[in-house]
Amino acid sequence: MTRFLLLCLFFIVKASVLGAEYQWSTPVEDVISKETGGHPRAFLWIPGDCKQVRAILIAPQNMEEVAIFENPSCRKTLAELGVAEIWITPPTSNHFRFDQGAAESLEKTLKALAGASGYREIEFAPLVPMGHSATASFPFDIAAWSPDRTLAAISVSGQWPYFREKTSSDPNGSPDWGTGPSTASRASPQRASMRSQATSYTAGTAASELRR
């Protein structure tokens, strides 16, 4: 029964990807999925008339993420705000383990998508991480890693904080939010120019700022 349900879920997600508009994609080269035995893939959607990406809604697939990303009302609003989407499937982990190479892997993925799409700002744009249920801590992990790049954190059907005490060697545990390294501290002109947009906002305030 479990195998049957997983197979059904696979075909549902596959059909969703085939029917959705994601203009570019790239493999997440540093990760091998336990589900597929291959590299997860990061799919990028940018609004059709977007001149410059102002922020990126990003999430690993768990359950509800793809439905939210492809919802017409959601995409219409994101288009008005100049916000792109990056959807990663299968998920690389329930947590964003910036203490175990996830930060470097994400930066490589963003750079690859920036090059493939021609939107160079993808590499440095503010992030709006999102996670659902088992991945509900993903957005908070991103915020802990790079608070000056995180525009907002969206936890769907989650809780605050969804933090399980685990040893640092446990891949299912949370990274240390208090002492984890932040690659955002490595200054760059592109990133510095966007920090004024990536301060501590609520989701509503973030949307208001992007509409300016």
Q: Where are the domains of the chain?
A: 21-210
Rounded to the nearest integer, the mean pLDDT of the chain is: 76
User: Closest Cα partner for 146 from 206, 106, 118, 114?
Assistant: 106
Q: What is the pLDDT of residues 92-125, one digit of tens each?
A: 777 888 888 889 999 999 999 999 999 999 999 9
**125 Cβ neighbours under 8 A, 6+ residues apart:** 53, 54, 55, 56, 84, 194
In sequence order, what are the beta bridge partners of 58? 86, 129
In sequence order, what are the beta bridge partners of 83? 55
pLDDT of res. 58: 93
Confidence of residue 183 (pLDDT cuts 50, 70, 90): very low
**137 Cβ neighbours under 8 A, 6+ residues apart:** 94, 95, 131, 155, 158, 161, 162, 163, 174
Q: List the alpha helices (DSSP H) in the chain.
A: 2-19, 65-69, 72-81, 102-117, 138-145, 189-194, 203-210
pTM here is: 0.72
Q: Between 3.30.230, 3.40.140, 1.10.3090, 3.40.50, what CATH number should domain 21-210 receive?
A: 3.40.50
Query: Two tokens at 160?
Result: 């605050």
Q: What is the pLDDT of residues 131-153, one digit of tens each?
A: 888 778 888 888 989 999 999 98
Whether residue 160 is predicted with pLDDT greater than 80 in this model: the reply is: no
